[in-house]
Structure 1
Amino acid sequence: MSKSFFALTLLAGAAMTGCMQSTAKPVSTATANTSDTPRNIIMVVADGMGPAYTTAYRNYQDDPATEAVESVVFDDILIGSASTYPHQQSGYVTDSAAAATALASGTKTYNGAIGVDAAKQPLESVMMRARQQGKRTGLAVTSQIVHATPASYIAHDESRKNYNAIADDFYDNRVNGQHIANVMLGGGTRYFERDDRDVLAQFIDDGYAYADSYNRLAAIPQGSDVIGLFADVALPPVLDDKRKNRLAYMTEHAIKHLENDNGFFLLVEASQIDWAGHSNDIASAMAEMHDLAQTMEMLREYVEAHPDTLVILTADHSTGGLTVGARGDYRWSPEFLSAMQASVGTIASNMGDEAAPGAYVAGQLGFTLSDDEVARFDELAGEPDVNKREAQLKQFLDEKTNTGWTTSGHTGVDVEVFAFGAGSQALAGQHDNTDIAAVIFEHLKGSSMQTPVSDNKGTPSGDDDACDFKEDWRCH
């Protein structure tokens, strides 16, 4: 069982902070341009998307029939860059929890921390500040909604591994007596519908509409409070999802339910770019980047129609050490990724059941294989370990595309910052990731919170196996 390390304090009708800190660096009026203050703020985090990913995506989208490499949406909205290092006790390379806490609160913390500082004290997030000011707030992510990035905007926990306790925070933590998020879309049913506590039922009892599929989400009346959980843990990789624009779809519906006269704050996360990087899976990396690009295109159209909206996109860190070109060969061949029918993991899982595995793999990859390559996969299908099959398929695609990777973890490089809409010029130039929160706080001018939210965690409990999935890197 977890030990409580924060006192439980739920004071309805009061604002939050007392012991809650807001230590984001102030931004000058000249920098923030308060005459251009947005009414709506959409914060997009592309988890794991270092600069090599946007370069690779541009090449992936290139029309080979033209001499020039055409620009993509990311080129049109690039405005700066940001450093990502965590609190000094964790060194120079951040994990998603520390980075998300910095982006959400403007405070550096240690790797693994969710919404707390280096002394494990709770921090005010920009989402909490927006809620305190009467804005509607929400999130739309492709991971489980209790994963590091979304959790850092709502919860307070010394360990990102405490998924059940973080789910409890989603319900228990309040601003002015109200739940912090009006709309929550992503995966994670197992953490909300549990034997020890049915958090999902509590939200439904409080008037939240519930959707367990995209179609049911579409049927919810506009302006509702919504909890949409579309998978037991995370959503499927976009290559395996029936909806190939899943992030844009969730984002569009989140906005539909958040729009109101006071404005809104929305967190969007392209969560699985990071997981593709950890897995050194170039096919999923480009597919997840395309899912994000479609979302950014949709948001550009939204800002054209709603110019009082600010959209910010950045990464929490880079993952995998992706290189465009490898092994001394000055070539990168993304055309081998353009017709993928399923994720490498799904292909590896299914090929052992096929009568003609090589032909099946060719059909799923979407390009013609040589006789030797077909024979290679016919033989690989006899390998009983699906993980080894998957590793061989990834290696094959790396060879065909000439993709390189330097690590299965994170790297400490600076990441790009993209922004457009009202107040976006405040993000031009080189920043630290904490400056992004400072800019948002500046746009969310208002009194600081006064009452601490509830927290009840210590060491991981009830969730000891939370990171024991096949993809252990989902916990990094």
Structure 2
Amino acid sequence: MPRTRTSLVAVAAAGLLAVGVTAATAGPSAPASLAPGFTKDISADLVAQVDPSKPRNVILIIGDGMDDSMITAARNYELGAGGRFAGLDSLPFTGAMTTYGLKAGAGPDYPIAYVSDSAPTASGWSTGKKTIDGRLSQGPSAAANVPGENYETVLERYQEQGALVGNVSTAELTDATPAAAAAHISQRACQGPADMTNCAVEKKSATPAGLGSVAEQLVDHEIDVLLGGGKQRFAQATDAGPTVLDYAQDAHDYRVVEDATALADVSSLADGPVLGLFANANMTPRYQPLVATPPPGSGGPAYRCQDADRGTQPDLSAMTAKAIELLDNPNGFFLQTESAMIDKQEHSSDICGAIGDLAELDETVQVALEFQEANPDTLIIVTGDHAHSTQIIGNPADDGRQTATVLTADGDPMSVAYSTNAVGSDHTGAQIRVAASGPQAANVTGVIDQTDLFRTLLGRTPSVLPGPGAPTPLKPSVGVAALERVAATTLRNRGLHVSVAAAGATSVKVQLLRQGRVLVTRTVRATGGDVRLRTARLVTGRLTVKVVASGASGTATSARKVVATR
């Protein structure tokens, strides 16, 4: 899949320059007195990275509460004012993203919430739709305790297409941002079966039966790789009796790992999905806290952040690297990974904790970029969910309600303030950074909304780049039909009957998959046809029929879910 094109895309290049794409020459070691700048016109370099083709793999990296002020504070501390993060600041396409949500009401025109929490913001990119505070991938309603309509998520779409999926966080896996990827519930606090007091009608034991707590839903989705904190939620007993952890292992064949060594030892998904629970609640930030206090504030001109004792916990980049290793397969994957403690430490007015998790996010971006170098059909998107109140200030004695001062990599003091609360701090409604690299990465430029990410994450219909030469042929299209249920004996003896219709293709491949593993592969004519998918042995459970139509301008896929019964 080509990543370059020499034709001049004047409109795209102008837009990219307008939002300030980072120059590749901006090195992290440049001193503030020699601040890095552009040494040449980069229009051609940007155009060369415009790739309209659909990505095979998608890696979404979220910095919870990560806005430009927090990025700048972390950069100043770790690298100096003239430095540049090797991952985050190197992405070629950069834009701004709005994060507003809705308020509960009579509808259908709900009031605007200009400042939102992580539940509706994460639901925005997960579903492409706005919702209210506290709500996870579920539409708005008249009140917080009235469930809304469940919205399909990006992760669920990729599962339907037969791709492998992963969800990684340094918070509890049941917390809002990771939960929105694959859970639908009216109130984000309903994380485990014992936390369902305010979500009683959504319990599995309700009549009619609900989807259950966030922990139960994540397990029921059979997400291939789940890594993070929150063991306490999975240790809670379900309405049926066993704990969520027991249920995950017995009903869904999850393998549970609880430290960095055990995670490193996992080498494939052949023996089932992986559930990594490395902390009872949230995972430990890189640095010990430096909590801001009323002026003149905490820390001081010589204060440097101190490493925290993280025990046997893996860090975010290690979890992400392992997730990519396990998910990588010919059919592609979707991975969401979150640096969560940026936000949580900002809420605590802890500048060191937030800086450490942002530095870890940058290391995680570098892991993703290294994979992308060998797999250029991978889209990487890096952004936050909302802005926060950390501000770099000039005078810690009177420029904020709570202040802290640290010594940066420049050898100079930097002071920050938190002023939304007398103690702690809160979200703000400012737009935030979004940056990307890889196929269709140019869609993040300009000013976009969080809901726009939904379509980019799924892969938009490729556009045709202007320039010399013949126009790019239209992308192939394909459809597939198959029974929703088939007996395992029929599947083995006679096979599952599948009908395929295709156009614009030169080859059409039909596959039967179980948990991302290919059981059967057949081909049909370029225009489609009928085929029987027969397994060599008895197979039960949820399967996916996936059809890939390939043509001169790319590929198209279609998938259907099938259940093989005993």
How would you bin the TM-score normalised by the shorter chain? 0.5 to 0.7
Distance 1:184 1:447 in 2: 31
Q: SS of the counterpart of 1:223?
A: coil
Query: Does residue 308 of structure 1 match 2:377?
Result: yes
Distance 1:298 1:421 in 2: 14
Contact 1:89 1:110 in 2 (8 A): no
Q: Per-residue deviation at 1:171?
A: 2.6
Decide which of 218, 222, 244 is 1:199's aligned counterpart.
244
Cα distance, 1:118–1:227 mapped onto 2, change above 3 Å:
same
Q: Per-residue deviation at 1:405?
A: 1.6
TM-score by length of 1: 0.68
Corresponding residue of 1:50: 67
5 Å-filtered alignment, 1:417-456, equals 417-443=434-460
Query: Does residue 109 of structure 1 match 2:131?
Result: yes
Q: Per-residue deviation at 1:72?
A: 1.8
Cα distance, 1:243–1:212 mapped onto 2, change above 3 Å:
closer
Cα distance, 1:446–1:286 mapped onto 2, change above 3 Å:
farther
Contact 2:95 2:448 in 1 (8 A): yes
Unpaired runs of 5+ in structure 2?
Answer: 1-49, 103-109, 142-147, 193-212, 288-307, 462-476, 485-566
Corresponding residue of 1:404: 417
Decide which of 250, 259, 274 is 1:226's aligned counterpart.
274
Q: SS of the counterpart of 2:282?
A: coil
Q: Per-residue deviation at 1:441?
A: 2.7
Show CA shifts across 1:146-196 (max 9, x none): 000111111110000001111111133x4xxxx2x1110001111112234
Corresponding residue of 2:111: 89
Corresponding residue of 2:407: 336
Letter in 2 for 1:168: E
Query: Does residue 152 of structure 1 match 2:174?
Result: no
Contact 2:55 2:459 in 1 (8 A): no
Identity across matched positions, percent:
31
Corresponding residue of 2:84: 71
Cα distance, 1:192–1:287 mapped onto 2, change above 3 Å:
same
Cα distance, 1:184–1:416 mapped onto 2, change above 3 Å:
same
Query: Does residue 121 of structure 1 match 2:166?
Result: no
Query: Does residue 171 of structure 1 match 2:219?
Result: yes
Contact 1:223 1:257 in 2 (8 A): yes
Show CA shifts across 1:376-412 (max 9, x none): xxxxxxxxxxxxxxxxxxxxxxx96421122211000
Q: How many equivalent pairs are there?
A: 350
Cα distance, 1:246–1:86 mapped onto 2, change above 3 Å:
same
Corresponding residue of 1:299: 368
Contact 1:49 1:273 in 2 (8 A): yes
Contact 2:390 2:416 in 1 (8 A): no
More helix by share: 1
Higher relative contact order (CA 8 A, sep 6+): 1
Distance 1:446 1:303 in 2: 27
Cα distance, 1:437–1:336 mapped onto 2, change above 3 Å:
same
Corresponding residue of 1:211: 257
Letter in 1 for 2:228: G
Q: Per-residue deviation at 1:231?
A: 0.8
Query: Does residue 133 of structure 1 match 2:150?
Result: no
Distance 2:224 2:333 in 1: 10
Distance 1:447 1:150 in 2: 31
Distance 2:344 2:394 in 1: 21
Mean Cα deviation higher: 399-408 or 429-438: 399-408
Letter in 1 for 2:342: I
Unpaired runs of 5+ in structure 1?
Answer: 1-32, 339-366, 368-398, 452-476
Q: SS of the counterpart of 2:382?
A: strand
5 Å-filtered alignment, 1:241-320, equals 241-242=310-311, 246-320=315-389
Distance 1:410 1:446 in 2: 44
Q: SS of the counterpart of 2:79?
A: coil
Letter in 2 for 1:299: A
Letter in 2 for 1:70: G
Q: Per-residue deviation at 1:306?
A: 1.1
Distance 2:269 2:94 in 1: 32
Q: SS of the counterpart of 1:417?
A: strand
Q: Per-residue deviation at 1:276?
A: 1.4
Poorly superposed stretches of 4+, deviation over 3 Å? 242-245, 324-330, 332-335, 442-448
Letter in 1 for 2:123: T
Q: SS of the counterpart of 2:59?
A: strand
Corresponding residue of 1:371: none
Q: SS of the counterpart of 1:137?
A: strand
Letter in 1 for 2:243: D
Query: Does residue 323 of structure 1 match 2:338?
Result: no
Distance 1:60 1:321 in 2: 14
Q: Per-residue deviation at 1:436?
A: 0.7
Letter in 2 for 1:210: V
Contact 2:158 2:334 in 1 (8 A): yes
Distance 1:410 1:447 in 2: 44
Q: SS of the counterpart of 1:41?
A: strand
Distance 1:246 1:230 in 2: 10
Q: SS of the counterpart of 1:163?
A: coil
Contact 1:140 1:269 in 2 (8 A): yes
Distance 1:292 1:299 in 2: 11
Distance 1:229 1:437 in 2: 28
Letter in 2 for 1:85: Y
Q: SS of the counterpart of 2:407?
A: helix
Distance 2:230 2:390 in 1: 28
Q: SS of the counterpart of 1:402?
A: strand
Contact 2:70 2:391 in 1 (8 A): yes
Contact 1:321 1:411 in 2 (8 A): no
Show CA shifts across 1:80-102 (max 9, x none): 01000002535210100010000
Contact 2:320 2:367 in 1 (8 A): no
Query: Does residue 60 of structure 1 match 2:77?
Result: yes
Q: Per-residue deviation at 1:440?
A: 1.7
Query: Does residue 184 of structure 1 match 2:212?
Result: no
Please identify the structure whose Cα radius of gyration is greater. Answer: 2
Distance 1:60 1:128 in 2: 39
